[in-house]
Amino acid sequence: MGKANGMTTPLDRSGAEDFLYAEARLIDEDKLEQWLTLFASDGIYWIPSDENANPVDETSIIYDDTSQLEKRIYQLRNKHLAQDPRSRTIHFISNVQVEAGTNAEENIVRCNQIIHEMRPGDHQQLQPGLAVPRSFAACCLYRLRRENSEWRIALKQVILINRDLPLQNISFIL
């Protein structure tokens, strides 16, 4: 996956789509350890509340480097209460555009995503919000970098439509 067709072939839209679909599928199928390998070692997963703020000095919904992502995934597998029951997700991806990078080894890919999410609920479905599908609309920006002929995520930024409003439980991977 994400294989470049020879060292000099630039990333085109169909190549970008293949990459994004495969990435989303790993999340939706809960193959998160494999998903993490798509990131460059210095890769960043950023869900901003203000995409113009400096995430090192200001609050974000999530601003994870790969070591934090590794922790996040470990916690998801180890009784994270906010994820008991775990969220199910289905990603829809559209409006894919590739921006020419400064060189053939790095590209910006923009896309829109609708992420449907649901936690299945307890047997009586007592808790408000459980067993209720939610949808998150986002404008996404990926910075993809070619490493050893594979595309890797240097940055995945998910700019939610309601990022600056109070949000309820985003403890799943978007």
Q: Is there binding between residue 156 and another protein (CB under 8 A)?
A: no
**What minimum distance in Å lies between the beta carbon of 10 and another protein?**
35
Say which residues have a Cβ less than 8 Å from residue 116's Cβ, sequence separation at least 6.
89, 90, 91, 92, 133, 134, 135
Which amino acid, 132? V
Q: Which of 15, 23, 72, 142 binds another protein (CB under 8 A)?
A: 72
Q: Tokens 């992502």 belong to which residue?
A: 69
3-state secondary structure 1-68: CCECCCCCCCCCHHHHHHHHHHHHHHHHCCCHHHHHCCEEEEEEEEECCCCCCCCCCCCCCEEEEHHH
Q: Is there binding between residue 68 and another protein (CB under 8 A)?
A: yes
Applying CB under 8 A, the site for another protein has a residue count of 39
Instruction: Output 23 or 64, the one with its CB closest to another protein.
Output: 64
Q: Is there binding between residue 112 and another protein (CB under 8 A)?
A: no
Residue 20's CB is within 10 A of a number of other CB atoms, namely: 21
Q: Is there binding between residue 41 and another protein (CB under 8 A)?
A: no
First-last CA distance in the chain: 20
Q: Is there binding between residue 7 and another protein (CB under 8 A)?
A: no
Instruction: Output 6 or 166, the one with its CB closest to another protein.
Output: 166
Instruction: Output 85 or 94, the one with its CB closest to another protein.
Output: 85
Query: Which phi and psi (to 5°) does residue 65 adopt?
Result: -85, 180
Q: Is there binding between residue 128 and another protein (CB under 8 A)?
A: yes
Positions touching another protein (CB under 8 A) are: 47, 49-50, 53, 55-64, 67-68, 70-72, 74-75, 78-82, 84, 126-129, 164-171
